[in-house]
Amino acid sequence: MDSKIFNLKAKLEVYKAMTNGGNFADCPVRDVIQGISGKWSSLLVMALAEKPYRFGELRRLVPDISQRMLTQTLYDLQRDGYVHREVFPTKPPSVEYSLTDLGRSMFAPLQMLVQWAELNHDAVRAARAAFDAAQA
Amino acid sequence: MDSKIFNLKAKLEVYKAMTNGGNFADCPVRDVIQGISGKWSSLLVMALAEKPYRFGELRRLVPDISQRMLTQTLYDLQRDGYVHREVFPTKPPSVEYSLTDLGRSMFAPLQMLVQWAELNHDAVRAARAAFDAAQA
DNA sequence: AAGTGGTGGTCTCAAAAAGAGACCAGCACT
DNA sequence: AGTGCTGGTCTCTTTTTGAGACCACCACTT
């Protein structure tokens, strides 16, 4: 493990950036992270990274999202510049959502996290089970 | 841009993993991601990546977290195996929180996201401002 | 002609999560 | 005897989320 190098790098670059010089409360990094750390945000970004989807397609793709949260999460993602919304004058009008360049560039590091999750979900589940067993 | 290669890779590895074969609802990756996508989780992990902290130190470090949410978020992070909690028999007893190996390994990809946020928060804020201006 | 279904939403109301702040025991120091 | 620090829990209020009804419009079926 190169944890020494890792920690040094973390301290010098990341910590300094996120603390905003000792101020955790109004930190721009926090502002950005919170925009994508919602319950559905990352999931929708991951879906749209594959290809553009229409509203109803997304709803069917993610069966346990409420229509209300789908609307709102897409709205928020659009507002932050990750998602582009385009209405086609078909009948009935269809609405297509796609990732912007900013969204695609954000998906790159997000993908790292997803890959980590893919590799380590067994460890997480094991930790969870062990913890629950110890509590009982 | 190598967006073609990027998308292919995304489709083959990430999308397949997260869809769990077409099923977005019970996907282990989602389970893991949701555990770290809470409002305070990533922030606390980032803080603890720098060095271990005691409860009160974390509270002062993140002034706008309520004591209740600090307790609960640390509990959840401990349950998922990211954080180690150790009580020292001082008077009064002090409690130290630190990242486990799993927590440190998760911080690596999280750091990528933080670095992206650091580089792109201007773009996000600009998009937000433009969107709000267009709505008005 | 009257139903049926698909489009992308909004509106209302209930449930869950988060925030605010009081309270607690134990010990050190004054 | 009072004050402060430790790491919390408990209760109450506010915010966020979820569940589901409802909407207009049009195509297609019956």
Give tens-digit pLDDT for A19-43. 554 556 568 889 999 999 999 999 9
Which CATH number goes with the domain that contains A83? 1.10.10.10
In a domain, A19, yes or no: no
Domain tally, chain A: 1
In a domain, A4, yes or no: no
In a domain, A66, yes or no: yes
- How much is the pLDDT for A102? 97
Q: Does B98 touch chain A (CB under 8 A)?
A: no
Residue B12 has pLDDT above 80, yes or no: no
Band of pLDDT at residue B23, cut at 50, 70 and 90: low
Which one-letter DSSP state was computed for residue B74? H
Q: For residue A68, give its domain range.
A: 38-135
- How much is the pLDDT for A92? 86
- How much is the pLDDT for A11? 43
Check residues 83 to 102 of chain A and report those whose beta carbon is under 7 Å from nucleic acid strand D. 91-92
In a domain, A22, yes or no: no
Q: What is the mean pLDDT of residues B99-116?
A: 95
Dist. CA B28–CA A42, nearest whole Å: 14
Chain B contact set for A42 (CB, 8 A): 33, 37
Mean pLDDT taken over chain A? 85
Q: What is the mean pLDDT of residues A121-133?
A: 94
How many percent of chain A have pLDDT more than 70? 80
Q: Does A85 touch chain B (CB under 8 A)?
A: no
B102 CB contacts (<8 Å, ≥6 apart)?
Answer: A120, A123, A124, A127, B81, B82
In a domain, B14, yes or no: no
Nearest chain B residue to A85, by CA: B131
Q: Cβ of residue B67 near strand C, that is under 7 Å?
A: yes
Task: Look at the block and give the residue holding tokens 């996508």.
Answer: B37
In a domain, B94, yes or no: yes
Helices (H), B10-100: 16-19, 28-36, 41-50, 55-61, 67-79
pTM comes to 0.87
Dist. CA B18–CA B6, nearest whole Å: 16
- How much is the pLDDT for B51? 92
A vs B, Cβ pairs < 8 A, gives 196
- In chain B, DSSP finds a helix count (H) and a strand count (E) of 7, 3
Q: What is the mean pLDDT of residues A70-85?
A: 97
Q: CA dist A108 to A69, B99, B116, Å?
A: 24, 25, 9
- How much is the pLDDT for B1? 47
